[in-house]
């Protein structure tokens, strides 16, 4: 069975392909109750790591819990070995991601409502190819680690899509009648548990062309939870330092659950701070949280700027609110005040991306997508014998992702130094002067020995850069359909080559 899997900061949601329908998969917890998600939680129980519902059950008996571990993926220096603390144990991030997804894989086979599951025996043939998602603003390491964890956990990953791009599929599937010859564009507003993304999608039938994407890697429902925690502490007239770790974790969990229960009719939020009962006025919480919503609208600026009429939205079929964070009534209220009646909230905001992913996974859906890189890519190069640095913008954020590995950029030149020192980065934007702007994330630092005499040196870092006539060099930049860039640097005179991906550098040697 083909699936769409939305790995979330708070919970993971799976949608299935079922003869043109895309139902959300339910999971049974330890008490036999059904849930339309698998909790993104890990617990340390003795020496074992537990995940999902098992982790929540262990937490109820006092085991240390870790939530929102997905947020670590957005850090600029993240890698497979990034240390994550679970209780008093430190665990590599990739191990946590893989363990969590492996537990969910097992749950899909044994305790879900998928046809053929729940028989007590896991049938690996039950699960077909899956399409998974990442935030549109995700950098290369985030994309690589997500793919690697899914594959190590036993999933057959058919494609990796940007979250708002997938939600655009769900919009067209559900509200295709709003798209007309005059209004062909959809703005997807995706406020999740840990991230915010917005994309401008041009729709023609079942064809989707992503024209622009913007976002914030650390802005989501968790931040609204933190605001409510501060409101509760103020109401109780206590400081965060006055609570022990268990009481603070309990308060944060209360706030998350209470926030998700707020309806347009809610007036007060009842909470326990330590041993004290408090009530927080919903209006007070909204006043404190409004700057977060304003921040999302500011982040949408580059997307709205691509419209023919950014103020009147005359070419927009709808601004579509998806993601669990958009369930808070404050969010659609403030957006409607700003943008008017074309704001639509998905009836299933938490599941919209998963449903869109399932549509993408369905070979019979007929939907197509032209997505964009969403982050620029370039290199800081040494110049003047290492006394200066210049930036070379290689790929722009609006580069269309290919359907197969494609060489999208090359550089060829005669080396003028003994060593090439390349500092590759990803960036949120490239300005008119070709300089990187916004969120800049290191990709790799590569030292390439243009001088063949240096190629046996284990470390070139201490070797001085000096001018000398050198080899004919070719740089090739290959981008795959998942938005992951691979760098090839080759001495064309000898065939000596270095390759660099976000996963690590291949051994140097002759070209193949």
pLDDT at 125: 72
By the 10 Å C-beta count (0-12 exposed, 13-18 middle, 19+ buried), 453 is classed as exposed
Do the Cβ atoms of 229 and 252 come closer than 8 Å?
yes
Query: Residue 119 has what pLDDT?
Result: 59
Q: CA dist 100 to 54, 112, 197, 307, 476, Å?
A: 11, 16, 24, 40, 36
Separation in Å, CA 160 to CA 21, 329, 385, 450: 21, 31, 41, 36
Please name the residue that has the structure tokens 């919903």: 282
Instruction: Classify residue 427 as left (phi > 0), alpha (psi -120 to 50) or beta.
Output: beta
> By CB neighbour count within 10 A (0-12 exposed, 13-18 middle, 19+ buried), where does 45 fall?
middle
Helix (H, G, I), strand (E, B) or coil at 248: helix
Contact of 212 with 398, CB cutoff 8 Å: yes
Q: Look at residue 506 in the predicted model and tell me its pLDDT.
A: 45
Residue 503 — very low, low, confident or very high, per pLDDT cuts 50/70/90?
A: low
Residue 404's pLDDT is what? 73
Mean pLDDT of 348-371: 95
Assign 511 a pLDDT band (cuts: 50, 70, 90): very low
Residue 419: strand pairing partners: 449
Checking if the pLDDT of 79 tops 70, the result is yes
Please give the Cα distance from 22 to 359 (Å, whole number).
7
Residue ranges of E strands in 69-195: 83-86, 89-92, 130-134, 157-162, 185-191
Are 218 and 71 a contacting pair, CB within 8 Å?
yes
- Work out the pLDDT band at 82, boundaries 50, 70, 90: very high
pLDDT of 262-300, one tens digit each? 999 999 999 999 889 999 999 999 999 999 999 999 999
In this structure, of 54-58, 333-337, 403-407, the range with the lowest mean pLDDT score is 403-407
For each of the domains in the chain, give its residue range(s) and CATH number, in order of start.
Answer: 3-219+293-370 (3.30.420.40), 376-510 (2.60.34)
pLDDT at 509 over 70: no
Please give the pLDDT value at position 157: 96
The 3-state secondary structure of 200-230, one letter per residue = EEEEECCEEEEEEEEEECCCCHHHHHHHHHH
DSSP summary character for residue 77: T
- Residue 3: per-residue pLDDT: 97
pLDDT at 458: 82
87: number of Cβ within 10 Å: 15
Classify 159 as helix, strand or coil. strand
Chain centroid to CA 30:
29
Q: Measured in whole angstroms, how far is the alpha carbon of residue 282 from the centre of its chain?
A: 30
Predicted TM-score (pTM) of the model is: 0.90
User: Are 111 and 52 a contacting pair, CB within 8 Å?
Assistant: no
Mean pLDDT (whole number) for 102-109: 95
Residue 387: its pLDDT value, please? 60
Identify the residue with better confidence: 272 or 246: 272
* C-alpha span between 139 and 126 (Å, rounded): 32
Q: ∠ at Cα 148 (406, 212), nearest 5°?
A: 50
Helices within 242-347 (DSSP H only): 245-261, 282-299, 301-304, 330-339
Could you give the CA distance from residue 492 to residue 512 in angstroms, rounded to a whole number? 12
pLDDT in tens, 208-241: 999 999 888 889 999 999 999 999 999 999 999 9
| Averaged pLDDT, 328-357 | 94
Residues of the chain above pLDDT 90, percent:
68
Q: List CB contacts of 330: < 8 A, sequence separation 6 or more.
A: 286, 289, 290, 293
| φ, ψ (nearest 5 deg) of residue 421 | -115, 110
Structure tokens at 216: 């914030």
Note the pLDDT tens digit of each residue in 469-492: 989 999 999 988 888 899 999 999
Looking at the predicted structure, is the pLDDT value of residue 394 above 50?
yes
CA angle 27, 29, 30 (to 5 degrees): 150
Q: What is the CA radius of gyration of the chain?
A: 25
Q: Phi and psi of 484, rounded to 5°?
A: -100, 130
Cα–chain-centroid distance for residue 128?
Answer: 23
pLDDT, tens only, 171-217: 999 999 999 999 999 999 999 999 999 999 999 999 999 999 988 88
Distance CA 8, CA 2 (A): 19
Give pLDDT, residue 123. 64
């Amino acid at each position: 069975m083909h699936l769409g899997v939305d790995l979330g900061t708070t919970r993971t949601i799976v949608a299935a392909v079922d003869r043109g329908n895309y139902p959300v998969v339910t999971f049974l917890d330890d008490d036999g109750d059904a849930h339309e998600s698998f909790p993104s939680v890990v617990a340390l129980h003795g020496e074992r790591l537990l995940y999902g519902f098992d982790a929540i059950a262990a937490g109820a008996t006092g085991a240390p819990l870790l939530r929102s571990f997905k947020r670590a993926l957005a850090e600029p220096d993240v890698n497979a070995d990034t240390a994550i603390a679970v209780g008093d144990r430190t665990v590599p991030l990739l191990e946590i991601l893989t363990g969590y997804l492996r537990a969910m894989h097992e749950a899909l086979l044994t305790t879900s409502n998928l046809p053929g599951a729940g028989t007590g025996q896991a049938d690996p043939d039950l699960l077909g190819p899956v399409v998974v998602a990442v935030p549109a603003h995700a950098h290369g390491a985030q994309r690589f680690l997500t793919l690697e964890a899914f594959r190590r956990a036993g999933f057959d990953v058919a494609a990796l899509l940007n979250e708002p791009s997938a939600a655009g599929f769900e919009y067209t599937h559900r509200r295709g009648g709003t798209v007309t010859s005059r209004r062909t564009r959809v703005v997807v507003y995706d406020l999740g548990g840990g991230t915010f993304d917005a994309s401008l999608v041009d729709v023609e039938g079942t064809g989707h062309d992503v024209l622009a994407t913007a976002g914030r890697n650390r802005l989501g429902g968790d931040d609204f939870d933190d605001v409510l925690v501060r409101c509760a502490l103020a109401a109780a007239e206590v400081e965060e330092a006055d609570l022990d770790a268990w009481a603070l974790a309990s308060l944060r969990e209360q706030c998350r659950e209470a926030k998700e229960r707020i309806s347009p009719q809610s007036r007060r939020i009842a909470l326990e701070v330590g041993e004290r009962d408090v009530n927080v006025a919903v209006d007070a919480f909204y006043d404190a949280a409004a700057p977060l919503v304003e921040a999302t609208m500011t982040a949408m600026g580059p997307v709205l700027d691509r419209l023919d009429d950014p103020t009147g939205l005359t070419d927009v079929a709808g601004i579509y609110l998806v993601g669990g964070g958009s369930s808070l009534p404050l969010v659609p209220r403030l957006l409607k005040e700003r943008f008017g009646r074309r704001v639509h909230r998905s009836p299933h905001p938490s599941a919209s991306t998963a449903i869109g992913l399932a549509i993408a996974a369905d070979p019979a859906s007929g939907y197509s997508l032209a997505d964009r890189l969403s982050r620029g890519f370039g290199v800081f190069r040494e110049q003047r014998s290492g006394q200066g640095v210049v930036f070379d913008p290689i790929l722009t954020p609006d580069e269309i992702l290919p359907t197969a590995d494609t060489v999208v950029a090359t550089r060829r030149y005669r080396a003028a130094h003994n060593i090439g020192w390349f500092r590759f980065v990803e960036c949120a934007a490239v300005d008119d002067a070709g300089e990187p702007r916004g969120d800049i994330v290191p990709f790799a630092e590569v030292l390439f020995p243009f001088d063949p005499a240096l190629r046996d040196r284990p470390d070139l870092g201490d070797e001085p850069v000096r001018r000398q006539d050198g080899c004919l060099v070719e740089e090739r930049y290959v981008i795959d359909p998942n938005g992951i860039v691979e760098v090839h640097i080759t001495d064309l005179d000898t065939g000596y080559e270095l390759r660099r991906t976000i996963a690590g550098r291949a051994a140097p040697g002759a070209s193949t």
